Structure 1
Amino acid sequence: MGCTVTFHDRVGHDRIAMSVEPLAADVAIALLEDAVRETVQAGFGADATEVELTLCGDTEMERLNFDHMGERGPTDVLSFPLHEWSVNGGTSHLTDDDGVSPPGPLLLGDVVIDLDQGLRQAAEGDWGVTEELVLLAIHGTLHLLGHDHADIEEEERMRAIEHHVLGVLHRRHT
């Protein structure tokens, strides 16, 4: 069954298309969805899961960042996990699992990516917008699964999974 990704376009299909040229917007969106699926598989391994993925602009991200993180200004990606996790050796484990599985897929939470910030970061890093957005989708999904980069060891584990998923998707982000 795999991971179902529900995509929400809050910036407009034409805006996405202009940002990810020469790829078609639908191809770029499918790549983002694949990035989420591969990350869930690499970091959790569960079959029946679901993730909400939203692409927004600076205005919405500024509001979300302030409302949920207490930070002013936009950020590149925010994650809103619905579960508590422990991470052991790079693999996520539910800590709030009561042993009773809900009917249907396990909803993991929401990943929100700021397209405007992704465009800026791609330009600053001198790599493609699509690569930046794919990395943000992977990064945000890892946060859904309880990964963090608060210390060097956690960050190294997180980066290793990011690079693994980028390799599976045949993408480079240097």
Structure 2
Amino acid sequence: MSIEVSNESGIDVSEEELISVARFVIRKMDVNPAAELSMVLLDTSAMADLHMRWMDLPGPTDVMSFPMDELEPGGRPDAPEPGPSVLGDIVLCPEFAAKQAADAGHTLGQELALLTVHGVLHLLGYDHAEPDEEKEMFALQRELLEEWVAEQVEAYHKERQLQRDRVLLDQSRYFDELTDDR
């Protein structure tokens, strides 16, 4: 899976975290692992230009998605074996997202993770224009984000345990050396 991130926003964000959450959603939604995704982070001025040009709406927004290939989660049963495809582009505006994060009482990283999930779901054909669509998309978005966070927490705890195990192994080697010196 190829995920490219281009940060043109002037705000320092964790590109690794954005890639991690995007990769997680793509995998969970059963998209071909050879799929390609591009993520661009823009400042508010560039995002406002894009928002006006593509949506005819003034001012910046938090996330926009530009799908490339027509995809459906899990693929269509009557379609040939799926091959690699270009999902499209997700455009994020960290400055705009930072304001939303502050209003919601969480970090910019959490907001960008949420927006990344949202953007990938749009690339996969989900929308929230109608109440039923919104309910489905936002429930899936919440579920995927919660699963990704749980996976991150588990990985953190495993890494901490590995570090503790290394320290114990190093100490036991030290004791072996002490007994060998006698």
Find the counterpart in structure 2 of residue 6 from structure 1.
4
Question: Please, which runs of 5 or more residues in structure 2 have no aligned partner?
Answer: 151-182
| C-alpha contact 2:32 2:82 (8 A) present in aligned 1 | no
Report which of the two has the higher share of helix.
2
SS of 1:80's partner is strand
Per-residue deviation, 1:34: 1.1
Report which of the two has the higher share of strand.
1
Q: What is the identity, as a one-letter code, of the residue corresponding to 1:6?
A: E
Find the counterpart in structure 1 of residue 23 from structure 2.
37
Q: What is the identity, as a one-letter code, of the residue corresponding to 1:48?
A: A
Corresponding residue to 1:128 among 95, 107, 118: 107
Per-residue deviation, 1:163: 1.9
Find the counterpart in structure 2 of residue 22 from structure 1.
none
| TM-score when normalising by structure 1 | 0.76
Q: Give the % identical residues.
A: 31
> Root-mean-square deviation (CA), in Å?
2.3
Matches within 5 A, 1:1-150: 3-12=1-10, 15-16=11-12, 25=13, 28-85=14-71, 91=73, 93=75, 99=80, 105-150=84-129
Find the counterpart in structure 1 of residue 175 from structure 2.
none
Q: What is the identity, as a one-letter code, of the residue corresponding to 2:54?
A: H
| C-alpha contact 1:35 1:165 (8 A) present in aligned 2 | no
| C-alpha contact 2:36 2:86 (8 A) present in aligned 1 | yes
1:166 correspondence with 2:164: no
CA distance in 1, matches of 2:136, 2:2: 25
Tell me how many residue pairs correspond in the alignment: 150
Per-residue deviation, 1:155: 1.6
| C-alpha contact 1:55 1:113 (8 A) present in aligned 2 | yes
| C-alpha contact 1:108 1:144 (8 A) present in aligned 2 | yes
Per-residue deviation, 1:153: 2.1
Cα deviations by residue, 1:49-103 (Å, 9 ceiling, x for unpaired): 11001111101100111111111100110000012345xxxx3646xx974866x
| C-alpha contact 2:9 2:42 (8 A) present in aligned 1 | yes
| C-alpha contact 2:3 2:19 (8 A) present in aligned 1 | yes
Per-residue deviation, 1:167: 2.0
Question: Please, which runs of 5 or more residues in structure 1 have no aligned partner?
Answer: 17-24
SS of 2:149's partner is coil
| C-alpha contact 1:43 1:92 (8 A) present in aligned 2 | yes
CA distance in 2, matches of 1:67, 1:92: 32
Moved over 3 A (4+): 91-94, 97-102
Q: Which has the higher contact order (CA 8 A, sep 6+)?
A: 1
Question: Which structure has the bigger radius of gyration?
Answer: 2
